[in-house]
Chains A and B, each alone.
Chain A
Amino acid sequence: MFAIVEEPIDVGSLIVAAQRPDCGAISTFIGTTRIDESDGARVEHLEYEAYRPMADRKLEEIGAEITERWDVREISIVHRLGRVNPGEPSVAIVVAAPRRGPAFEASRYAIERIKQIVPIWKREVWSDGYMWVGSQTGTRSTPAAK
Chain B
Amino acid sequence: MNGIKILLFGAAADRAGTRETVLPVEEEVALGDLWPVLAGRYPKLAEMQHNLAFAVNGEYARMEDRVSSGDEVAVLPPVSGG
- Taking beta carbons and an 8 Å cutoff, which residues of A are in contact with B? 31, 48-51, 53-55, 57, 79, 90-91, 111, 114-123, 132-138
A-B contact count (CB 8 A): 80
Tell me whether A111 and B82 are in contact in the complex, defined as CB-CB below 8 angstroms, given that A54-B58, A132-B10 are known contacts.
Answer: yes
B76 at the interface (CB under 8 A from A): yes
Is the pair B76, A114 in contact by a Cβ cutoff of 8 Å? no
Is the pair A48, B81 in contact by a Cβ cutoff of 8 Å? yes
Tell me whether A51 and B55 are in contact in the complex, defined as CB-CB below 8 angstroms, given that A119-B74, A121-B9, A135-B48 are known contacts.
Answer: yes
Q: Which chain A residues border B48 with CB–CB below 8 Å?
A: 135, 137
Is the pair B9, A134 in contact by a Cβ cutoff of 8 Å? no
Query: Could you give 15 example pairs across A and B, Cβ below 8 Å?
Result: A48-B81, A54-B58, A55-B81, A90-B82, A91-B82, A115-B82, A119-B76, A120-B80, A121-B9, A121-B81, A132-B11, A132-B77, A132-B80, A135-B11, A137-B48
B7 at the interface (CB under 8 A from A): yes
Is the pair B10, A135 in contact by a Cβ cutoff of 8 Å? yes
Is the pair B74, A121 in contact by a Cβ cutoff of 8 Å? no
B59 at the interface (CB under 8 A from A): yes
* CB proximity of B66 to chain A, nearest CB, Å: 19
Indicate which residue in A49, A57, A115 contacts B10 across the interface (CB closer than 8 Å). A49
* CB proximity of B23 to chain A, nearest CB, Å: 18
Is the pair B55, A135 in contact by a Cβ cutoff of 8 Å? no
* CB proximity of A113 to chain B, nearest CB, Å: 10
Chain B 59-80 near chain A by CB (<8 Å), digits 1 or 0: 1100000000000001011111
Minimal Cβ-Cβ distance residue in B for A135: B11
> Which 4 A-B pairs rank lowest in CB-CB distance, beginning with the nearest?
A120-B81, A135-B11, A121-B10, A137-B11
Is the pair B11, A114 in contact by a Cβ cutoff of 8 Å? no
Interface centre among B10, B74, B78, B82 (most CB of A within 10 A): B82
Minimal Cβ-Cβ distance residue in A for B75: A51
